[in-house]
Amino acid sequence: MATNIGMMDGAYFVGRSEILSWINTTLHLSLSKVEEACSGAVHCQMMDAVHPGMVPMHKVNFDAKNEYEMIQNYKVLQDIFNKLKITKHIEVSKLVKGRPLDNLEFMQWMKRYCDSVNGGGINNYNPLERREASKGGRESGKKSAPQQSSTKGSNAAPRPSSSHARRNSNDVTSSAHPSNQSAKASSKPSTSMAAYDEQITELKLSVDSLEKERDFYFAKLRDIEILCQTPEIEDSPIVAAIHKILYATDGDASVVTEAQAMLALQSKEAEALSPIAEASEEKSSCEIQKRKNILNSDVDAAGIITLSPRQRLSDASDVHCSGSPLMTY
């Protein structure tokens, strides 16, 4: 059973037309846009269809227009999730605003969940009868009834007899021509309005996706700013260059070049200081060598002074045997 599914799951690639067809067929509604279900009442009845008897339909408000009324519907939905131990997070603040992308994603999740329960089969469920207990449920059920009755009435219109058609052929042709023109004229605005609605919906979806992308990258920049404020590195040249880029005003195209110049200047200063450091190292090594020579000479002198009398005697005998002219008796 799907409760939490990833954003790359196939459920989030289901189109709006398929979602709308699923809602209207299951609940006998006539929604034309997914965001029309932002009140949360449709979600509650979908859960009622999948889990009969779990949803208190008398608490669901299908006539919710204000946000506080919609929030009450989402509270009912959250209670159902808690009872069923569903851990899906409901972003109420985004859904009640009627944003197309957010409502589409949540309804895609709803379809995936309903399909995962009992194989998606909903049997012996009467959505109109269950909706009667809800506030505004009867009116929402009647919205689709006039459309169905009008289509049936247009298909069941009686045809004129052939004799009557022959007698009034001239009148029929003369009257049919303006009616056809009016029908064509009325069909053109309807198709153009549908095209405009489609374009508006696509624009809303693109705006929502751009807003999400903007928030994502802004959060990344904020994390970099917090990292640069660490006391151990906030005085380093690279952090200063990053700050220059982060806090640059709009239209400043040379900010990257200036940041690179700052780093290059810092590296040149480091190279200029390096010969001084080498000279100091050589001087210190010379001083260490001198100290070693002094210590060695002191040790040799001390060794001569501390010779024992026996060693001195042996040295004198060695000199006598060598035939030194200094040793005469």
Query: DSSP readout, 265-291?
Result: HHHHHHHHHHHHHHHHHHHHHHHHHHH
Pairwise CA distance, residues 220 & 239, whole Å: 16
The answer to whether residue 154 scores a pLDDT higher than 60 is no
Which pLDDT score, from 0 to 100, does residue 34 have?
Answer: 92
The answer to whether residue 324 scores a pLDDT higher than 70 is no
Q: Which residues have a Cβ under 8 Å from the Cβ of 91 and sit 6 or more positions away?
A: 102, 106
Structure tokens at 324: 């030194």
Q: For 171-200, what is each residue's pLDDT tens digit?
A: 544 444 555 555 555 556 677 777 787 778
Structure tokens at 3: 């409760």
- Give the number of other Cβ atoms within 10 Å of residue 102's Cβ: 20
- Give the number of other Cβ atoms within 10 Å of residue 125's Cβ: 14
Pairwise CA distance, residues 63 & 73, whole Å: 11
- Give the number of other Cβ atoms within 10 Å of residue 170's Cβ: 8
Pairwise CA distance, residues 109 & 114, whole Å: 9
Q: For 292-315, what is each residue's pLDDT tens digit?
A: 666 666 555 555 555 455 554 455
Q: Specify the DSSP class assigned to residue 133.
A: T
Which pLDDT score, from 0 to 100, does residue 162 have?
Answer: 44
Which pLDDT score, from 0 to 100, does residue 265 have?
Answer: 83
Which of 65-79, 226-240, 280-294 has the weakest average pLDDT?
280-294
Which pLDDT score, from 0 to 100, does residue 251 have?
Answer: 64
Which pLDDT score, from 0 to 100, does residue 157 have?
Answer: 43
The answer to whether residue 81 scores a pLDDT higher than 60 is yes
Q: Specify the DSSP class assigned to residue 97.
A: T
Tell me the β-bridge partners of 61.
135
Which of 32-41, 105-114, 127-136, 316-325 has the weakest average pLDDT?
316-325
Strand (E) or helix (H) holding 196: helix 169-228
Vertex 263: Cα angle to 257 and 268 (nearest 5): 120
Among residues 42, 110, 29, the alpha carbon closest in space to that of 73 is found at 42
Mean pLDDT across 132-138: 83
Structure tokens at 322: 């060598």
Q: For 254-289, what is each residue's pLDDT tens digit?
A: 878 888 888 888 777 777 665 555 555 666 676 777
Q: For 212-226, what is each residue's pLDDT tens digit?
A: 788 888 888 888 988
- Top-confidence residue, 17 or 249: 17
The answer to whether residue 91 scores a pLDDT higher than 70 is yes
Q: In 58-168, which residue ranges form alpha helices assigned H by DSSP? A: 67-84, 92-95, 100-116, 127-131, 137-142, 144-155, 162-167
Residue type, 39: S
Contact 135, 60 (CB under 8 A): yes
Share of the chain above pLDDT 70, in %: 63
Share of the chain above pLDDT 90, in %: 25
> Taking the CA of residue 184 as centre, how many other CA atoms within 13 Å lie in the half-sphere pointing to its CB?
6
Q: For 13-54, what is each residue's pLDDT tens digit?
A: 888 999 999 999 999 998 999 999 999 999 999 999 999 888
Length of the chain: 329
Which pLDDT score, from 0 to 100, does residue 145 have?
Answer: 44
Rounded to 5 degrees, φ, ψ at 252 are -90, 95
Mean predicted lDDT score pLDDT of the chain: 74
Mean pLDDT across 144-152: 43
- Top-confidence residue, 278 or 92: 92
* pTM beyond 0.85: no
Which pLDDT score, from 0 to 100, does residue 58 have?
Answer: 92
Widest CA span in the chain:
180
